[in-house]
């Protein structure tokens, strides 16, 4: 299955995603340059810590790029509607197209998206059925990278010994305190914001309710149409990530395919 790219022409969205990329670039450059690599060269921290930091940074960037360019579930101009599912489709009053129930028309993107959760300006893309799993990965890896950055900033202030090979005349050495303070502030903001967002997203997924449905009080109708059946959290997340293999839930460099479960659900670890 090929990766479908999706680009939104929105100057405000470009500005927001540029800010997110600038924050990632700042913490991925200054923190290793000021804290991680100097203490590694002097033998104060193990090489595994350096590898983990760069791995978290790389996964965060890949998740950002994938979430911002992946097709969220845009409906084609002339969708094929199976005869058995026609009752589950409705007419969009904005673009005059047939769409499945729980789809929503995004005024920012100008088209309908299957099971749209919300439009996120920070990735300049909608969060829908086909890229919700990437948005979850972005929230998760941003938390990991922010927490990693905060831990390194804290250790630099209160734990690590002063560096013996530091060039005191270098720009980064003279402005070390200010640079690390900026990094710590950005780490706190990103970790707090992403933790709250990740919690609300997981709560919505596990209760089978999108952000738009919460805002429009549509959850009662959805809950009433479910027939009282409640899916397990493994099956719910497997449907979002497109695989029952839990290890693949953490890998952004792959494609997602819709799952159809038999009566007996089996999960892989």
Least confident of 133-142, 197-206, 250-259: 250-259
The per-residue pLDDT for 224 is: 46
The per-residue pLDDT for 165 is: 63
Q: How would residue 263 be classed by pLDDT, with cut points 50, 70 and 90? A: very low
The per-residue pLDDT for 102 is: 86
pLDDT at residue 250 greater than cutoff 80: yes
- Rg (C-alpha) for the chain, rounded Å, is 22
CA quadruple 151, 156, 158, 164: dihedral positive or negative? positive
The per-residue pLDDT for 172 is: 54
Active-site residue identified among 120, 126, 139, 155: 120
pLDDT at residue 123 greater than cutoff 90: yes
pLDDT tens digit sequence for 2-60 = 556 677 778 898 999 999 999 999 888 888 888 888 888 888 888 999 999 999 999 99
pLDDT tens digit sequence for 70-84 = 999 888 877 777 777
Least confident of 45-59, 116-130, 150-164, 186-200: 150-164
* HSE-up of residue 259 (Cα within 13 Å, Cβ side): 20
* HSE-up of residue 63 (Cα within 13 Å, Cβ side): 26
Q: Domain coordinates of the chain in residue numbers? A: 11-219+230-250
| Helices and strands of the chain, counted as H and E runs | 9, 6
The per-residue pLDDT for 53 is: 94
Q: Confirm whether 112 is a catalytic residue.
A: no
User: In terms of Cα–Cα distance, which of 126, 9, 17 is closest to 73?
Assistant: 126
DSSP state of 266: -
* Cα(18)–Cα(211) distance, integer angstroms: 25
The per-residue pLDDT for 262 is: 54
The per-residue pLDDT for 163 is: 65
pLDDT tens digit sequence for 140-163 = 999 999 999 999 888 887 777 666
Which helix (H) or strand (E) element contains residue 100?
strand 98-100
């Amino acid at each position: 299955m090929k990766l479908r790219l999706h680009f939104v022409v929105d100057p405000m969205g470009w500005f927001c995603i540029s800010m997110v990329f600038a924050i990632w670039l700042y913490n991925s450059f200054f923190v290793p340059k000021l804290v991680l690599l100097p203490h590694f060269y002097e033998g104060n921290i193990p090489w595994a810590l350096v590898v983990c930091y760069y791995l978290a940074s790389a996964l965060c960037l890949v998740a950002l790029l994938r979430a911002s360019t992946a097709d969220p579930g845009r409906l084609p101009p002339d969708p094929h509607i199976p005869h058995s599912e026609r009752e589950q489709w409705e007419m969009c009053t904005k673009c005059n197209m047939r769409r499945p129930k729980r789809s929503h028309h995004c005024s920012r993107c100008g088209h309908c998206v299957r099971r749209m959760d919300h439009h996120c300006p920070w990735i300049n893309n909608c969060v829908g059925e086909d890229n919700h799993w990437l948005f979850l990965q972005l929230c998760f890896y941003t938390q990991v990278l922010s927490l990693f950055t905060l831990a390194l900033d804290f250790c630099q202030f209160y734990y690590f010994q002063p560096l013996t090979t530091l060039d005191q005349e270098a720009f980064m050495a003279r402005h070390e305190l200010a640079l690390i303070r900026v990094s710590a502030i950005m780490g706190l903001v990103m970790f707090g914001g992403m933790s709250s967002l990740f919690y609300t997203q997981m709560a919505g997924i596990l209760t089978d309710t999108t952000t738009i449905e919460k805002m429009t009080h549509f959850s009662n109708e959805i809950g009433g149409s479910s027939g009282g059946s409640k899916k397990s959290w493994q099956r719910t997340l497997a449907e979002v990530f497109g695989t029952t293999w839990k290890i693949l839930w953490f890998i952004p460099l792959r494609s997602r395919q819709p799952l159809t479960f038999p009566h007996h659900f089996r999960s892989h670890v």
